[in-house]
Chains A and B, each alone.
Chain A
Amino acid sequence: MSTTIQMINRRQFLKSSSGVALFIGISGMLPIAISCKNKEEVQAQLEKHPLTAWVRLSEDGQIIIYNPAAEMGQGSMTSLPVVFAEEMDADWSMVRVEFSPQEPEIYGSEGWQPGSKIMLSAGSRVTKSNYTVMRQAGAQARYVLLFTASKHWNVPLVDLNTENGFVINGKSNDKISYGALVPYLQVPSTLPDFTEEQLKNPKDFRLIGKVIPRYEIPAKVNGTAQFAGDIRLPNMLYGVLERGNLHGAKPTLQNESEILAMEGIQKIIPYDYAIGILATTLEQALSAKKQLKIDWSTSAATGFNSQEIYPAYEKIASQSKRGEEIVNIGNVEQAFRKAAKTYTADFKNDYVYHAQMEPLNSVVQVAEDLKSAEVWVGSQQGGDTKLGVPDVLGIPPEAVNVHLQYLGGGFGRRTMTDFVTECAVLAKEMAPRPVKLLWTREDDVTYGAFRPLSLQRLKASTDAQGNITGFSHCVVAENGNLATSGIHNAYYDIPNQFAEWREASHGIRLKHWRAVGHGPNKFAIECLIDDIARDQKMDPVALRRKLMVQAPRALATLEKAVEMSKWDAPIETGRAKGVAFLERSGTLSTGICELSVDRTTGKIKVHRFWSAIDAGVIVQPDNVIAQMEGGIVMGMSSVLKEQITMVDGKVQQTNFDNYP
């Protein structure tokens, strides 16, 4: 087989013939360094301690740093190791990066519950949640090297310092590279937890905040970057499922014997919502999928016509009974009663589809005794780091080994585990043969999990001076958790605010889609603010300046965007500029857009876009720019082009010929 599988697990440490694995425990754990040649000892230590290996050093100076996060284009393969290397004071040119094992108790960052740990690459949390974890671990690695050098030279540790991969004795001017210290590696009996003050002073950063090329880009331009669908294993079978286009419908297969008689077909596996096919080759599986004759039951979605639903939503928004309260500050009703003027507007938002470029897929191999499994998948990880496989097989989580691969886009879709558990079901049937499950693009579209359709009904009040005194926001949608994110105007000085979610229900599969509610909610909020500015004959920037009076960081992004875009300068005839501000996961951003509209076709052309953000500590500046560029493109696409529709509950779009 031509494929090499990138994995790092206990066995691989044992297989290593050179180098030292530096195991740094979580707080309080005894650190140890073991020559990888001493296989028995490595084995014994691994069995004795739940140790974490963040880094592996070799005599030749090579350093392998393990990345605990998924890499889906957001740059974790570089940003997190950069943070580690910064504190370790490593020579970045000697660093290689590999994915860590998927073991949250070891590699996880702080979870939702105090004391819990999760590995989750979603919700804009990767850099934020791992920043301190990686700094601590890197500082501990550096401490071990300093300790080793002090023993090796028999000098006090306090006389020593580090510089770009070397330990230096300031008194004697002796200098030794990290690699050269490997044969002497010793670890202290206790390893300190470093306080912020003991970590590197940010003004001394050599790597954080500097332009460093992304680690995995060369592999992504020569075709070697490995995605889960690229895995090929001996005796591997191929699985596909037909899930139909009516979410929740149950299938009855009409031509089982005909399908089983087709060349290469190994088995047909029924699911509650799908028919699965296992075949020797992918093309056989796909041919059989096309021949399936399935009767589908009705479902909760039957009868639902997405493009005719807004009158019903408007009715829900008009009911006197309030929904679930999300924000309630001051007294918005009173503000409306006392208002000099009120403004209302409805905004409608369609279902949109993730359309990550790599359709969902996974590879699973279940052991012959069904007691363990290997999983290769591009996943955003999740609360259940073993991605539902233990439940499918009825085995403990530690019996499932997840080999994380690059993700061909995530955007929230790959926080779900449907494409992994489905494959586990197939692999269990065929154990010990590995199974590759592929979702076709049609599967990925029609059985997608969309950003919910919604109605945003907004109302605002102003006083006689034109100050915004009250702001209410009602979202009608399925799934309030998804639909209401971004609804809170925490950075605007509006004394009375109210936001609520009113429920609709259509039986459609839904999921986070790039933050999810922020898109529709911020769009609605910023549009209404523009309506008010226009009516009050105020410049939209001036109005926002007033609103941001209590939020200097927000205001700074506005001022920067204004400056870059020359907001006040004359503009080409036929063009106009617009401004919007939002916050997501602590990052503040102002965008200014210059566009023109073809008055006959209504077609909008975006000519220029400026974005100013405050995202806190910037680990990789060029990557942040890339993320903003991509986010702007995806945002424009979702607003101007994208729409999933249902007729009688059935998803009407199938592939890129009709989506967007």
Chain B
Amino acid sequence: MATFTLDINNKKQQVEVAQGTSLLWVLREHLGLTGTKYGCGIAQCGACTIHIDGSPVRACTLSVENVVASQKITTIEGLSEKGDHPVQKAWIEAQAPQCGYCQSGQIMQAVALLESNPHPTREEIKTYMNGVLCRCGTYMRIVKAIELAADDKLANT
């Protein structure tokens, strides 16, 4: 066991876990940030997508010792105070989720997309979102939500 200090959602948190523990289990099972989901454990589905310094990262394959205290981790819980990030609002507007399990990862990936490319084309959206799987097949509405958010984003940033 070792102690790690992490900056999660603008809060410094300490966890005592074994070296090699995935950041996903640290977030979910040790810190109770369960909005980030486990889907595959091999960075193939994107359900565990979080941000590290604003970039989308799959938490499941990232060992806790590879994150340093100066890096800022953002999870779905830290995306906005009241679930009202423009992307979250667009997601509600589009009624995107069905079962909802993949949607935290979808939203984190989409936020990263719009941060780097505020007005993506439909093809750019599809390419960027391609690695985040949804078995309910909500892809059409995810595209719609991102397009809605891209429009709103003009006013909000």
Contact = CB atoms under 8 A, between A and B. Distances in A.
Interface of A: 1-3, 72-75, 213-214, 216-227, 229-230, 232, 238, 263, 281-284, 354-359, 406-411, 438, 440-442, 622-623, 626-627, 629-634, 637, 655-657
A162 B102 CA distance: 41
A223 B77 contact: yes
A358 B138 contact: no
Nearest to B44: A656
Given A220-B103, A630-B137, A633-B137, 16 more contacts: A73-B100, A217-B96, A222-B77, A223-B34, A227-B101, A281-B17, A281-B25, A357-B47, A357-B133, A358-B39, A408-B99, A441-B42, A442-B41, A626-B138, A629-B138, A631-B137
Given A222-B35, A357-B47, A283 B98 contact: no
Interface residues of B, number: 53
B100 A408 contact: yes
25 contacts: A3-B32, A72-B98, A73-B97, A73-B136, A220-B97, A220-B103, A221-B92, A222-B83, A223-B75, A223-B76, A224-B83, A229-B37, A263-B18, A283-B29, A284-B18, A408-B100, A408-B102, A409-B136, A438-B38, A440-B41, A629-B140, A633-B140, A637-B137, A656-B44, A656-B45
Could you tell me the dominant secondary structure of chain A's interface residues? loop
A263 B96 CA distance: 43
Contacts, number: 166
Contact of B99 (A356, A623, A632, A634): A356
Contact of A357 (B41, B42, B95, B102): B102
Contacts of A226: 34
Contacts of B99: 72-73, 356-358, 406-410
Interface of B: 17-18, 20-22, 25, 28-30, 32-42, 44-45, 47, 75-77, 79-80, 82-83, 88, 91-92, 95-104, 107, 133-141
A268 B91 CA distance: 44
User: Ordered nearest first, which 7 A-B pairs have the shortest CB separation?
Assistant: A223-B35, A633-B137, A73-B98, A408-B101, A220-B100, A222-B83, A73-B99
Given A626-B141, A630-B138, A221 B91 contact: yes
A354 B34 CA distance: 23
Contact of A626 (B39, B75, B80, B98): B98
Contact of B137 (A263, A406, A441, A629): A629
A3 B28 CA distance: 11
A656 B42 contact: yes
Contacts of A637: 137
Contacts of A438: 38
A441 B39 contact: yes
B37 A358 contact: yes
B135 A214 contact: no
Given A73-B136, A655-B42, A217 B29 contact: no
Contacts of A630: 98, 136-138
B135 A409 contact: yes
Nearest to B100: A220
B29 A216 contact: no
A637 B134 CA distance: 12
Contacts of A284: 18
B102 to A, nearest CB: 5
A637 B136 CA distance: 11
A357 B39 contact: yes
